Amino acid sequence: MNIDMIISLRSPECTNQILPRSIKLPLQGNAEYEKRLRFLHPIFENFSLTIQDILEDSEARRICMWLYAKADTAAGEYLNEYVWILQFDESGKRIISQKEYVDTAMQKEFYPKLQAASRTQAKKD
């Protein structure tokens, strides 16, 4: 994952909202989003996204993608689904807003395992 490239595609005012709102995560600007990516990058090895479906509205400068995610972690294979809604600036080159819907059922099951595996790994180191 090239984090510098990801951030370069975002406008300076770009926001990232992780949804649904029931998980109560705050709206993130670029600095918070980059910090999150840099924290997660070493945890999720071989991270990849595969587009399952994409809807484009060039007039509104919006893209909606249904994505499958896959990675290797200390807790085993990570498999997840996302829906991203990206809004672009007038040039169509930079993202000004990202809404990221996550699979909350998967997160409730997987993240406790990941935390436990991370604690076990930290004790070994």
pTM: 0.85
Q: What is the pLDDT of residues 19-42, one digit of tens each?
A: 999 989 899 999 999 998 998 888
CB-based contact 69:78 (threshold 8 Å): yes
Task: Decide if 90 contacts 102 (C-beta within 8 A).
Answer: no
| pLDDT of res. 62 | 97
In tens, the pLDDT along 44-80 reads: 899 999 999 999 999 999 999 999 999 998 888 999 9
